[in-house]
Structure 1
């Protein structure tokens, strides 16, 4: 479907006059008539009744009108979005909600300072979904706590961060608290042993560190949080009889990504400052 035909159809339906439509479109009246005939031939129906200067939509024209408006609006939005991406050199970064909240939000701010010519998309999803998006070239860079398991991926270890078990009140013991599971990756589950009885379940499971933090007091709970983030938030207290855990942080991308230069430049800005 030629969008110019739809554009001409909409202008004639608005003005109900081939001459005025031609003026609005900067075309000759014969060009407008030709476009309308082309559209009618494609659809196999008459779209207008023509009686001298009295131009009216046929029943088929009335049916087409809302679809033509929707198609043109969608096309204009697509053109704007594509042009916007081209102008600003958009770069998409994916991570879990907890990583964005605790570690990557400040990093994103530093990226804008270091790369003013880039427009970033910060995408939040589960790791499995983000790996699929990376593989399908819908995502440029993945930040995760697990190393890549596919040969077509490249990776860089960005460093390590430390998790501790936190509660809302000081001097709390693990046995006296309900466990709130904040998702730090499938391989993290081995560290949760001892926080739950064999037949027990977490009082809350979430991928949001902020949500888990806000529920510590209402649920009399404890959860694993990055120590640097917990210190900034305040009013959080390490559980007395728990240890700390070190977690790696990786950047992962496709080996044959066409944004290799941008990736290298972006990763020059340290994540774990």
Structure 2
């Protein structure tokens, strides 16, 4: 009689968590903040434009903030090779979760499902009223700016509109942060890419990953406070280094 054979045992693929910062989007034409040519280094006062108290209490800051968003044209940016490499890894069958400090939505535009992207700092593609909390698309607010409104107000109640991003002085969404922490504790590979790992609590996720036994890889142009904990540190350009690194994780 033929000997019954067991079905082949498939090895479980490791969960990969990717923490992305501004550096992953510079190849898309969106400037970073703390890099050598970052926004904060070129214009320290620019940080006031995304600080909640300054934004809410100083109409001049608010008008400058709106002009900055119009001039950056971040909504026109498209994903680059690094964003696409993350999506390619997810489509290869590897379980991938993206935890991003970015607000540009480029991971989703590259094809990552919304449910697999945790936006710690919100989204620049939306606006929210600070009074009635109604939300709307940023594109409509920028169109009003082009039409001559220097400080667009909420169409529903007249309250101050702000971008749907978490400004300095605001708390992160505890639910999103909790999900990010759970992913970090469960992953077996944690890749921090394009982030200075200086802004808490997002930066602390790298330490949490290492403490829970994940392989920690840091891809960033400059040193970070967590380099000593990393299993691998890559200083090469992100647009070439990340795709090569993620190809090694495919089944």
Which structure has more helix as a fraction of its residues?
1
TM-score of Structure 1 vs Structure 2, range by shorter chain: under 0.3
Q: Which has the larger radius of gyration?
A: 1
TM-score normalised per structure 2: 0.24
Which structure has more strand as a fraction of its residues?
1
